[in-house]
Structure 1
Amino acid sequence: MNEFEDLLNSVSEVNPGDVVTAEVLTVDNGQANLVISGTGIEGVLTLRELTNDRDADINDLVKPGESHEVLVLRQVVGKDTDTVTYLVSKKRLEARKAWDKLVGREGEVVTVKVTRAVKGGLSVEFEGLRGFIPASMIDTRFVRNTEKFVGEEFDAKIKEVDPAENRFILSRRDVVEETAAAARAEVFGKIAEGSVVTGTVARLTNFGAFVDLGGVDGLIHITELSHERNASPKSVVSVGDEVEVKVLSIDEEEGRVSLSLKATTPGPWDGVEQKLAAGDVVEGKVKRLTDFGAFVEVLPGIDGLVHISQISHKRVENPKDVLSAGQDVTVKVLEVNSADERVSLSIKALEERPAAAEGEENTEKRQSRPRRQKREQKRDFELPETQTGFSMADLFGDIEL
């Protein structure tokens, strides 16, 4: 009787909310059966109260003979017997400890794991505690596909902790922005206008290409992509390409950098004097027509102008009446001006002048000579002393007064 009374006195009372130590007796049917140390009272630990990973194998997490600290949830009475057991949780105890650790840590950056994508954001886990990242706090840009983050681990800043409301809000965007700001400061400290830097093509638009310089995106405007006129961005570069670009301008306050790709590549006008000279006869293709002439490509990237007066010996009212875009023509080089990037060309210089045109020219010459002689006679009459050397005495010396 004395031994029995001692046994009864050794059994402690167990209440929901208590934190106790329990030894695993058996593991079967997806749950662990335990005995609460110092009481002889049995407890049940299910997989759901052990981990948030529903695909986990409970046999990998607990084994017979192990002791675990658990939280007592509620009393469970057997259906067929009067046996009383308690449902316990290891997961909730870890969550309680995590809540205690989180209080007052707003603004701190922690590493979280994304467990699933939910409506309006991401569900994450931190030290056994479930947190939430709203969609607006995932990145600096709107994220349409949140599923891609599931299973990832990344840093996030704690925004709000409220254990009473079970509220734990974090922001990944804050970390991304701070990291980007530090990277921008580092990049702006290294680059300067006129310098040549290396970057990676990040994205293409219809007006140019954005290049990641290591934390700062610089823009290559479509006019600075290639020496070729009207080249589309996708015909020059692709996303992921590593390129060398020249820095044209920097606006650190606005975070803008203007870049040029064509400034780092040889242009068609470089060394043009060795390729083209006045007097050369070359083949070309009419690229475009204007009211004042035709532009003919004589070398890759070099268009020369055939002025309307150099198209034909005959009068040309409009270049479109004689030439068409895409037409192959033979031209003579009249002048090469590499400084101004201009080439003057002529088509009529390679054609024989029509006889009628020669007759007209002779007529013009004959008509022009009398006019010049008449002007010269007029000048002789107006300025006799200067033109002939005569004096008034020479003219009137024999007249008696």
Structure 2
Amino acid sequence: MSEEMDNLEVGNFSEGDKVKGTVTKIEEKQVLVNVEGSKVDGIIPISELSSLHVEKASDVVQEDEVLDLVVTKVEEELLVLSKRKVDAESAWEALEERFNNNLVFDAEVNEVVKGGLVVDLGVRGFVPASMVEDHYVEDFSDYQGKMLSFKIVELDRDKNRLILSHRIVLEEEKEQEKKSLLEKIEPGETLNGTVQRLTDFGAFVDIGGVDGLVHISQLSHEHIEKTSDVVKEGDQVQVKVLSIDRDNERISLSIKETLPGPWTNIEEKAPKGAVLEGKVKRLVSFGAFVEVFPGVEGLVHISQISHKHIGTPHEVLQEGEQVKVQVLDANEHDQRLSLSMKELEEAEYQQKDYEVPEESKGFQLSDMIGDKLKNFKK
């Protein structure tokens, strides 16, 4: 009679029926449950506990826990059940809503596998390696257990296929930051940035989500041949905004404008009377321009080149020649520096004029006067 009752109880259920079951025992490869309305045992194979691979059933359920289940098979005196299918059914509905509305959501990375990450969303979600970050990542082992924001990029319920992307979320955030920054910044502002990449014509600098170009002519007050002579990738720099093209998302920046100019404090660097060394940069009819500091050229007027009369500076000087000059006057406001070479020649000439010849050393004035007196007595 008891056997007939059990068969009757099993016969009340069909494949696909949804039931509630209380966990009574957790074994290595299966879970036993007490099914409401049945006097026979229900069994959940470990493969039917979760959409993910499960090593231990106890990692998913615990004794006395009440579960929503679906009947997958009716056997004599036994119901085979699935927790995974119930979870998946309700999960697909939520996932379809997120996919249709292009929603962003947070989820924990459950597994790191070859080729990407696995996320449990009631169904198995896969994040290909190329969709994890917006930059190359060599090792994903640190991502286990990490919370990330995702968007669904592919969903196929029939094929049980769910593809997620964290990279798209990052790219959209950066694009929004870029638009916001383009609206806020104005020419003349000074900002901090990071050098992203170098080109022959300048450097691209990230100023907080958007790149601006520092043309090679705006890198330094000095003339430079290569961008890499001044900056390298990763450098933290200060830049001044020169212009903004919001329609084409182009920003022109300058590092040079944030640096002290070559004429700053020129009165201190080149005080009146100071002797400096420089290079003859240009020769003109009225004198020579000599560079004494990077970006600072002073004029040696033709009248100040030599104590001898000369018709043109070319008679005594040539471009590229290293010379010594004396500062006559310096003016930072007008960026004017007056120099002289003649003053140094005259000083040298006078020094030589007053030097006592080597052969006369050892004679005393009294000796010379004595000789004169002797002649006078005669």
Q: What's the TM-score once normalised by structure 2's chain length?
A: 0.67
CA distance in 2, matches of 1:13, 1:275: 102
Asked if 1:188 corresponds to 2:182, the answer is yes
8 Å contact 1:188–1:252 — kept in the other structure? Answer: yes
Asked if 1:89 corresponds to 2:82, the answer is yes
3-state SS of 1:100 partner: helix
Pair 1:202–1:91, CA change in 2 (3 A): farther
Q: Which residue of 88, 98, 101 corresponds with 2:91? A: 98
Structure number with larger C-alpha Rg: 1
Tell me which residue corresponds to 1:129.
Answer: 123
Q: Which residue of 104, 109, 116 corresponds with 1:109? A: 104
**What letter corresponds to residue 177 of structure 2 in structure 1?**
A
3-state SS of 1:111 partner: strand
3-state SS of 2:158 partner: helix
Tell me which residue corresponds to 2:192.
Answer: 199
Cα deviation 1:44-95 (Å, max 9, x = unaligned): 334443345657653343222222122344468xxxxxx8655533233212
CA distance in 1, matches of 2:14, 2:289: 95
Q: CA deviation at 1:249?
A: 0.8
CA distance in 1, matches of 2:53, 2:301: 82
Cα deviation 1:280-300 (Å, max 9, x = unaligned): 3323365x978989986634x
Q: CA deviation at 1:201?
A: 1.6
How many corresponding residue pairs? 334
Cα deviation 1:222-242 (Å, max 9, x = unaligned): 44344455386686687374x
Pairing 1:230-249 to 2, within 5 Å after superposition: 230=224, 239=234, 241=236, 244-249=238-243
Tell me which residue corresponds to 2:37.
Answer: 38
**What letter corresponds to residue 282 of structure 1 in structure 2?**
V
CA distance in 2, matches of 1:49, 1:348: 100
8 Å contact 1:282–1:298 — kept in the other structure? Answer: no
CA distance in 2, matches of 1:247, 1:14: 74
**What letter corresponds to residue 162 of structure 2 in structure 1?**
F
Tell me which residue corresponds to 1:250.
Answer: 244
CA distance in 2, matches of 1:40, 1:240: 73
RMSD: 4.4
3-state SS of 2:149 partner: strand
CA distance in 1, matches of 2:176, 2:50: 38
Tell me which residue corresponds to 1:272.
Answer: 266
**What letter corresponds to residue 196 of structure 2 in structure 1?**
R
CA distance in 2, matches of 1:235, 1:30: 65
Pair 1:57–1:222, CA change in 2 (3 A): farther
Question: What runs of 5+ residues in structure 2 fail to find an aligned partner?
Answer: 309-313, 350-378
Deviates further, 34-43 or 335-344: 335-344
